[in-house]
Amino acid sequence: MQNPGMDADVFEQFIEQLDRYVRERLLPAEREIIETDRIPDDILSEMRDMGLFGLTIPEEFGGAGMNVSQYIRTIHTLSYAMPAFRSIISINIGMFTSALKNGGTDAQKAEWLPRVASGEIACFGLTEPGSGSDSAGLQTSAAQTDNGWVLNGTKRYITNSPFAKVGLIMARTSKENLPKNAHVSAFIVPMDAPGVSIGKSDKKMGQAGSHIADIVMDDVRVGGEALLGGELGKGFAYAMMSLDNGRMSVGAAATAYARRALDSAVRYATERKAFGEPIANFQLIQQMLAQSEIDIYAAECMMEDVTRRADAGENVLRKAAAFKVFASEMCGRVVDACVQVYGGAGYLAEYDAERFFRDARIYRIYEGTTQILQLQIAKHMLREFHANG
């Protein structure tokens, strides 16, 4: 049975409230966050009170119980503001919750879903220094003991790890590479467990206020109940199931941030004068603005279509990947056009265009690079062709 989501009228009221909150509260806070590289505690408390950390978590566990369309539209609304606000809630409502709902035991759901819905921050540990999209190269190991597991290894570029209370950690439970990545299992690991250490937050090109860091595990002991679903060899499958939602989330964020950049470019073009008139009057400026509007509209249509299909129960692996690729590449084009419209001012840190350009670059990389997703889309196309012979 598909999730009907929140009541439609209640959801529309929520979106209206969130949009007002974004424009009246979050946008004015951005300069402080850029200077301090952190979201203020009072804003985090407000986000918790609004239920933003539990959007996709079922109501019986303290969440909002949104369906995919509602969840992604919420992300789209929130992501008009700087990326840090989406980033801080993204793992809770995306990969962590999805994996737990799809593969967790009743006891695991009962323990962890209320905690992350209330705002305890989660992280998701798949990427390692020597492996990202290549699961066969995963080195973190989980060795079984009489009463649980011992984990050793390092995870890299882990979003929210400096703040996280819990991590969903992918670890090798077989030395051999097995079909369908059955050598990888998933473990729910409290980040305060003995042997867990978090590296220093990495300095990044953009996305001020969001943090990534290494997670190092040195003989970390967890009980048998830490194995997600109580089953060996299912970890990678659960991770992959959760990636569709993650990719739609990044696509929605890129689409919203492109709109933010275009709004900024239009405003600047009407205010900036050259040769005695606003540069918005010049046709080549208009061409950049118009092409950006066309690109954003196409991404918005893809977002609406793929989320509707997901709620209808379709397999959207290919379409979610396509949306993420198009939206992230599109956002790159739009922020580049924004810098160009700003001209010399677009290269200065005191103007927003420079920040938009840096912030948007990661969208083409995380949750599957453009190139990896193109390969995945092509692989599924060719498999379908051969199957239909």
207-235 pLDDT, tens digit per residue, is: 999 999 999 999 999 999 999 999 898 87
313: left (phi over 0), alpha (psi -120 to 50) or beta: left
pLDDT (0 to 100) of residue 243 = 83
> If you count them, how many residues does the chain have?
389
With cut-offs at 50, 70 and 90, classify the pLDDT of residue 35. very high
Cα–Cα distance for residue pair 249/71, rounded to 1 Å:
8
Only one residue has tokens 């700087």, namely 82
CB atoms within 10 A of CB 19: 13
Would you say residue 134 has pLDDT above 80?
A: no
CATH architecture of the domain with range 237-388: Up-down Bundle (1.20)
Yes or no: say if 323 and 306 are a contact pair by the CB < 8 Å rule: yes
Yes or no: say if 351 and 343 are a contact pair by the CB < 8 Å rule: no
Would you say residue 287 has pLDDT above 80?
A: yes
pLDDT (0 to 100) of residue 175 = 87
Cα–Cα distance for residue pair 247/261, rounded to 1 Å:
21
pLDDT (0 to 100) of residue 1 = 52
**Average model confidence (pLDDT) across the chain:** 94
140 closest CA partner among 65, 249, 215: 215
Share of the chain above pLDDT 90, in %: 87
Q: What are phi and psi of 103, to 5 degrees?
A: -130, -5
CA-CA-CA-CA dihedral for 11, 41, 254, 245, to nearest 10:
-60
Report the DSSP beta bridge partners of residue 189: 167
Quick one: average pLDDT of 66-90?
A: 97
The whole model's pTM is what? Answer: 0.93
Only one residue has tokens 């990495």, namely 202
Helix boundaries (H) for the chain: 8-21, 27-36, 41-49, 68-78, 84-91, 97-103, 106-117, 235-271, 283-311, 317-342, 352-360, 370-388
With cut-offs at 50, 70 and 90, classify the pLDDT of residue 133. low
Active site residues: 367
Q: How far is residue 158 from each of residues 23, 38, 123, measured CA to CA in Å?
A: 29, 16, 7
Return the higher-pLDDT residue of 121 and 241: 121
Q: Name the CATH superfamily for 8-121.
A: Acyl-CoA dehydrogenase/oxidase, N-terminal domain (1.10.540.10)
Q: Where are the domains of the chain?
A: 8-121, 123-231, 237-388
User: What is the 8-class DSSP label of residue 272?
Assistant: -
Identity of the residue numbered 27: L
Query: 123-231, what's its fold?
Result: Butyryl-CoA Dehydrogenase, subunit A; domain 2 (2.40.110)
Burial class (CB in 10 A: 0-12, 13-18, 19+), 317: middle
Structure tokens at 78: 């929130």
Give residues with Cβ within 8 angstroms of 63, minimum separation 6: 51, 54, 55, 56, 57, 97, 113, 117
Yes or no: say if 228 and 173 are a contact pair by the CB < 8 Å rule: no
With cut-offs at 50, 70 and 90, classify the pLDDT of residue 104. very high
Cα–Cα distance for residue pair 389/382, rounded to 1 Å:
10
Identity of the residue numbered 75: I
Secondary structure, 3-state, 160-207: CCCCCCEEEEEEECCCCCCHHHCCEEEEEEECCCCCEEECCCCCCCCC
pLDDT (0 to 100) of residue 52 = 97
Per-residue DSSP letters for 110-158? HHHHHHHHTT--EEEE--BTTBSS-GGG---EEEEETTEEEEEEEEEEE
Would you say residue 42 has pLDDT above 90?
A: yes
